[in-house]
Amino acid sequence: MKLLEGKTALVTGASRGIGRGIAVTLAQHGASVAFTYLSSPDKAKTLEEELSGCGIKAKAYKSDAADFKQAEQLINDIIAEFGVLDIVVNNAGITRDALLMRMSEQQFDEVLKTNLKSVFNITKSCIKPMLRQRQGSIINISSVVGVKGNAGQANYAASKAGIIGFTKSVALELGSRNIRCNAIAPGFIETEMTGVLDEKTVQGWRDAIPLKRGGSPEDVANAVVFLSSGLSSYITGQVVHVDGGMLT
């Protein structure tokens, strides 16, 4: 029997990058997967087919994680379709980088809404079904930047630090109901998000990492599988650093 067989997972923002890697890895471990996308319908369709090829139930939903009403509707639709929701991975995120002196209010608000308010939207909406089921695992994707900061990313760092405080609070509120809530803080993961950086900057990141390489979406996905499964049944309110030793 596979580790996550019989479980149903939601992954937000899975059309590309880390979210895609998480969705595929969860499916490979036997979980049925509902996932969201916003602006990449073709990539979402391809992923839905790939996941179904793993022999599990898979469905793509177009849903803006930053919109509370859409998040509520999404969870209702998933419960109607899959019957249960055991694992929620809040992964959707964006960057709008600028030094604070040049950062617009819009750049700040967009990042906070997509990266942090989305975690509130989805988590609040999934609590009721998880309480009914008397179990659940919520995993929020933060960032090394939320712990140590990064010049040019004050908005992003604030959103990712906010996720850590939110995670710990939810863990305290829901631990007695057998609902666990943990965060993962990836370091430098090679996706389209980091693909916009010039080669010199990328090399600088790689040089600064004790393991001397950027991470892959699968490196993050493997930690998600652990936190989703019974292997981590006594772990809640924690931040798992998947960063090649960057914070050491």
**61 catalytically annotated:** no
Strands 58-62 and 32-37: parallel
Interaction between residue 224 and ligand NAP (CB under 6 A): no
For residue 44, which phi and psi values (nearest 5 degrees)?
-65, -40
- Among the listed ranges 72-80, 131-139, 184-192, 221-229, the one in contact with ligand NAP (CB under 6 A) is 184-192
Q: Which parts of 48-77 interact with ligand NAP (CB under 6 A)?
A: 64-66
Q: What angle do CA 166, 84, 224 make, to 5 degrees?
A: 50
Which listed residue (11, 33, 38, 171) binds ligand NAP by CB under 6 A? 38
CB 12 to ligand NAP: min, Å: 5
Q: 138 forms bridges with which residues in the sheet? A: 88, 181
Interaction between residue 35 and ligand NAP (CB under 6 A): no
Q: Which parts of 97-126 interact with ligand NAP (CB under 6 A)?
A: 114
Measure the CA–CA gap between 223 and 196, rounded to whole angstroms: 25
Interaction between residue 16 and ligand NAP (CB under 6 A): yes
Interaction between residue 127 and ligand NAP (CB under 6 A): no
Residue 53 burial class via C-beta count within 10 angstroms: exposed 0-12, middle 13-18, buried 19 and up:
exposed
Q: Is-contact 30 42, C-beta < 8 A?
A: no
- Among the listed ranges 51-59, 97-105, 129-137, 182-190, the one in contact with ligand NAP (CB under 6 A) is 182-190
H or E stretch at 68:
helix 68-82
Nearer Cβ to ligand NAP, position 62 or 177? 62
- Among the listed ranges 11-19, 80-88, 97-105, 131-139, the one in contact with ligand NAP (CB under 6 A) is 11-19
Interaction between residue 162 and ligand NAP (CB under 6 A): no
For residue 95, which phi and psi values (nearest 5 degrees)?
-125, 150
Nearer Cβ to ligand NAP, position 15 or 155? 15
Interaction between residue 186 and ligand NAP (CB under 6 A): yes
Greatest Cα pair distance in the chain: 55
Express the helix, strand and coil content of the chain in percent, nearest 5 each: 50, 15, 35
CB 59 to ligand NAP: min, Å: 15
Contacts of 107 (CB under 8 A, 6+ apart): 96, 98, 155
Nearer Cβ to ligand NAP, position 108 or 172? 108
**Interaction site with ligand NAP (CB under 6 A):** 12-19, 36-40, 64-66, 91-94, 114, 141, 143, 186, 188-189, 191-194
Q: Indicate which residues carry an active-site annotation.
A: 156
